[in-house]
Structure 1
Amino acid sequence: METMRIEIDGEYSGIKFSASHFIPGHSKCGRLHGHSYILHLVLCGEKGNNGMIMDFVDLKKCLRDIVSELDHRILLPKNSPELSINVGSEIEVKTCTKRYVFPLEDVMLLDISQTSAEEMAEMILNMLLSKIDFPSNVEYAEIGLDEERGQTAWAGRRLHQ
């Protein structure tokens, strides 16, 4: 059997989100700023009995659900050793010489140590893998996250090993 590849391009499929973040200690990205992120998915594998690697409809729905959780939020890495995060009726964040206070509903605490495009791509891949039971013909999944066009971080994983 031949290995085939399918791709979902979030730019054309409308799988994108806008969010704010900062990277503590970084000279430029240490300031609170935002991005319009675009998500991409690549799957590799053999065609199944239905003539497809996997149905685009199911994949796009799952990816849209994931980005809707992140959209128009302030993204904070809850595992960062450089941040002190106190959660109450508001979220207070201290880092270096800065202190931020955000409304609780505006923030998404992420189970990562940094809100870099690389760590977020890996986190989104893990979210996808936890939500979809990939059939045995799918051999490899890869998520790409554009921080801006021409600047994409990719995270991939072999499946069914």
Structure 2
Amino acid sequence: MVDSGSRPVAMAERWREGSTEVLKPFFQSLVSEGVEARMVEGPGFVYIETPGAVYGRSQAELDLLRTAKQRRLVPGFSPRSSLFIEDDSLHFDYGHALPGSKTCSVVHGHSGRASVEFFGGVGPNGMILDFADAKEAVRKTLKLVDHKFVISEKYVVGASERSVRVRFEGPNGEFELKAPPSHVVILREEATSENIAKFLVEKLLEGLPSAVEGVKLFVFEGVNKGASYFRVGRT
């Protein structure tokens, strides 16, 4: 970052927050000083681009832009190429438990919603991915957890063709339950919003064309809260 003396560098140092409230005054100061800058807003993100820096983007997103540019993963790849989907139909309901959490150690459920941003190169048709195809891919992926019980593998104490048995003890006591395998999603890690988002991104990428080089998926757990996961590449 370049300090011109009058620029509010303190705001710039908070760029990782990526909030409009923080970035807008900084953007205005850049423009007033004649700096070539643009402010971009979308579902769940906001950032400022200048010739020498990007403010408001997560480190993972910056890594995507840098990696794609260096490796030339897609002919004609542009770091600014992305496609996002924000649609109320992209919702799912699921149950889970977090034994290590005082408030979430009991079995409970959420009505979740997802929004997704796809990164990649624009093809001959001028698109990264057709909106209809993108939305269908997301819906298909969300069905993997819709009306399912999501739990870490560490709490699975038995499994057969007929049932999965789960047992854990937390601040609210000991829980034990049994459910059909078709209604249980077993994660390697705790069934947090962050790890559910990670699971969905990994599954989503499996069915996408190679032109899509990265995906960022937001999982909203109820209203005004949630988590996201960002991944570049397929390995």
Which TM-score tier does this pair reach, normalised by the shorter chain?
0.7 to 0.9
CA contact (8 A) 1:40 1:145 kept: yes
Identical columns (%): 22
1:119 is aligned to 195
1:109 is aligned to 185
Cα RMSD of the aligned pairs, angstroms, is: 2.2
Query: Structure 1 residues 111 and 44, CA, compared in 2 at 3 Å: closer, same or farther?
Result: same
**Are 1:158 and 2:158 counterparts?**
no
1:94 is aligned to 167
1:85 is aligned to 157
2:117 is aligned to 42
CA contact (8 A) 1:76 1:110 kept: yes
CA contact (8 A) 1:72 1:106 kept: no
Give the SS at the match of 1:66.
Answer: helix
Which TM-score applies when normalising by structure 2?
Answer: 0.59
The one-letter code matched in structure 2 to 1:146 is F
Residue by residue over 1:45-67, the C-alpha shift from the partner in whole angstroms, topping out at 9 and shown as x without a partner, is 34221011211111111111111
CA contact (8 A) 1:90 1:101 kept: no
Give the SS at the match of 2:219.
Answer: strand
CA contact (8 A) 1:92 1:99 kept: no
Q: CA deviation at 1:106?
A: 6.1
Count, aligned residues: 154
Query: Structure 1 residues 129 and 157, CA, compared in 2 at 3 Å: closer, same or farther?
Result: same
Q: CA deviation at 1:139?
A: 4.1
Match of 1:9 among 74, 86, 90: 86
Query: Structure 1 residues 45 and 5, CA, compared in 2 at 3 Å: closer, same or farther?
Result: same
Which TM-score applies when normalising by structure 1?
Answer: 0.83
Give the SS at the match of 2:84.
Answer: strand
Match of 2:96 among 6, 10, 21: 21
Higher RCO (C-alpha 8 Å, min separation 6): 1
Q: CA deviation at 1:105?
A: 5.1
- Which structure dedicates a bigger proportion of its chain to helix? 2
Query: Structure 1 residues 84 and 73, CA, compared in 2 at 3 Å: closer, same or farther?
Result: closer
CA contact (8 A) 1:17 1:71 kept: yes
Alpha-carbon distance in structure 1 between the residues aligned to 2:159 and 2:207: 27
Give the SS at the match of 2:198.
Answer: helix
Larger Rg: 2
CA contact (8 A) 1:22 1:30 kept: yes
Q: Which stretches of structure 1, 4 residues or more, deviate above 6 A after TM superposition?
A: none
Alpha-carbon distance in structure 2 between the residues aligned to 1:84 and 1:140: 32
Residue by residue over 1:116-143, the C-alpha shift from the partner in whole angstroms, topping out at 9 and shown as x without a partner, is 00011111111011121231xx443211
The one-letter code matched in structure 2 to 1:94 is R
Q: CA deviation at 1:10?
A: 3.7
Alpha-carbon distance in structure 1 between the residues aligned to 2:208 and 2:188: 21
